[in-house]
Structure 1
């Protein structure tokens, strides 16, 4: 439940927001943030460098190749990518990290 769906009152003595639905009447103000962006893919995207070339695999079994990672917003779990292939060259695509099942990171090296 987000803060906009229900009223909360900050109680400085307990450093918590008052919430009538909670059993003890209080809700930690960090609780909603902890619930967001769960999973190994989300954790990976939090630390992935901008400009990294990737292919992603969605939970719907769809594979999207030829993406360049731009950034990850951990407030809304959105990961932004640029498509690099000719027909979609330069298009920006945004995914919720929780719908991504896997990521293939492409190595750029002369190994």
Structure 2
């Protein structure tokens, strides 16, 4: 029997996978000083097959895609 490893097994990936669609979040990227402090995103979806997090900027603008394995931290924004 072959057991397939879960490639999206970081704590951030697991956290994002369990958030409800439409949750407002801020994201910190690994190995950078970037924490999108002035940029909030709304979670659109999480794809556990490829670890992609799809989010929409809170200004109604662009859709952005993050690899959850490259995210150092997530903050849920209480509006």
Q: TM-score, normalised by structure 2?
A: 0.86
Root-mean-square deviation (CA, aligned residues, Å) is 1.3
Aligned to 2:78: 107
| Counterpart residue number, 1:48 | 19
Normalised by the length of structure 1, the TM-score is 0.63
Q: How many residues align?
A: 76
Q: Could you say what secondary structure the match of 2:15 adopts?
A: helix
Partner of 2:58: 84
Structure 2 gaps of 5+ residues are none
What is the CA distance between 1:39 and its match in structure 2? Answer: 1.0
Gaps of 5+ in 1: 1-15, 17-27
Higher share in helix: 1
| CA-CA distance at 1:62 after TM superposition | 1.0
Residue of 63, 73, 98 corresponding to 2:35: 63
Query: Match of 1:19?
Result: none
RCO (CA 8 Å, sep 6+): is it higher in 1 or 2?
2
1:44-64 residue CA offsets vs partner (Å, 9 max, x unmatched): 011100001111000022122
Q: Which 4+ residue blocks in structure 1 deviate beyond 3 angstroms?
A: none
